[in-house]
Amino acid sequence: MNRTLSIILRRTVSLLITLSVMSLIIFLLVEIMPGDVAQMILGQSATEEAVSALREARGLNDPVMERYFRWVGGVLTGDLGESIYMKGVTINSILWRRVGHSLVLALSAFILFVPLSIILGVLAGVKENKPTDSIISFLGLATMALPEFVSGVFLITIFGVQLNWFPIVSIIPIGESLFNNLEILFLPALSITFVMFGYVSRMQRSSMIQVMNSDYIRAAILKGMNRKYVIFRHALKNALLPTITIIGMNMGWLFGGLVVVETLFGFPGMGSLLMTAIKTRDVPLIEACVLLITVIFSLSTMITDVLYSYLNPRVRFQGGQR
């Protein structure tokens, strides 16, 4: 347990350093994006005077580092600033609603792909080189190779247009909340499942094959133990460890990398908000979204590490791999 605590402490320090460096990188990357924010906002009909007035009003003429420290100071006190477009509207009031929506979508996808991938991965591993394995492996490769915008269009065509079972767009009607419209989650969640299924099931399969070929499993089978008992009580427990790592590592992507899926389905989540922010060069909003994604990615990686060390006795007791 002490070792787990020390891992948590080390990872937390490392997380803080990562976030500090990332905040500077994010700020500088956004800074060097081509184009002029004020010109972008005001459009073609803007006079030089209007562009200059807007730059001054939004503090865009201040030195870079001054703006960086002002931003970091704000972030540390929970103030993400105002959208460059909406004076008087804080980013906090825009962002967290979208974060909530994305969280629900990510969880829905999680509930779909995790059991599905693990069950089919185990099945493929146990039935190695048999038709079941071939079919599952082919499905995994096929879904993995399909980008979200392709699988999304397929899903829209089949479930939305042909069968008319689910809405083809995932908007929340004005005056209603996401929880009154849970059906809008299905197609985007399934689209994410397509991407994740390949990675997770293949990892589960190879891990299962490795464990099933290990001495202690062979000994258990030779002892005459029930095969199902051996698979689910002995093999699966160990075979799940690499899968948990893969799932944990992808949670960051699952949450922050939904730009394509959310944009395709018109889902009002953080991914589509980031897309809008980038398209309109809304610098403070881009920074807030990317920083939040970084935090989530770093946190999910840290939690995965800690969980792995907790579940793996070799790491917990012998210092194993770090």
Residues contributing to the site for another protein (CB under 8 A):
34-36, 39-47, 49-54, 57, 83, 85-89, 93-94, 96-101, 103-104, 107, 156, 160, 167-169, 171, 173-179, 263-266, 268, 272-273, 275-276, 279-281, 311
Which strand (E) or helix (H) includes residue 279?
A: helix 270-279
Q: How far is the CB of 212 from another protein (least distance, A)?
A: 23
Output 127 or 316, the one with its CB closest to another protein. Answer: 316
Six-digit token string for 23:
């905040």
Q: How far is the CB of 55 from another protein (least distance, A)?
A: 9
Q: How far is the CB of 174 from another protein (least distance, A)?
A: 4
Q: How far is the CB of 46 from another protein (least distance, A)?
A: 6
Output 35 or 224, the one with its CB closest to another protein. Answer: 35
Output 137 or 301, the one with its CB closest to another protein. Answer: 301
SS (H, E, C) 83-111: CCCCCCCEHHHHHHHHHHHHHHHHHHHHH
SS (H, E, C) the chain: CHHHHHHHHHHHHHHHHHHHHHHHHHHHHHHCCCCCHHHHHHCCCCCHHHHHHHHHHCCCCCCHHHHHHHHHHHHHCCCCCECCCCCCCEHHHHHHHHHHHHHHHHHHHHHHHHHHHHHHHHHHHHCCCCHHHHHHHHHHHHHHHCCHHHHHHHHHHHHHHHCCCCCCCCCCCCCCCHHHCHHHHHHHHHHHHHHHHHHHHHHHHHHHHHHHCCHHHHHHHHCCCCHHHHHHHHHHHHHHHHHHHHHHHHHHHHHHCCHHHHHHHCCCCHHHHHHHHHHCCCHHHHHHHHHHHHHHHHHHHHHHHHHHHHHCHHHHHHCCCC
Q: Which amino acid is at 81?
A: G
Q: How far is the CB of 250 from another protein (least distance, A)?
A: 16
Output 136 or 270, the one with its CB closest to another protein. Answer: 270
Output 211 or 259, the one with its CB closest to another protein. Answer: 259
Output 36 or 128, the one with its CB closest to another protein. Answer: 36
Six-digit token string for 302:
């840290």
Q: How far is the CB of 9 from another protein (least distance, A)?
A: 20
Output 98 or 234, the one with its CB closest to another protein. Answer: 98
Output 30 or 311, the one with its CB closest to another protein. Answer: 311
Other CB atoms within 10 Å distance of the CB of residue 79: 13
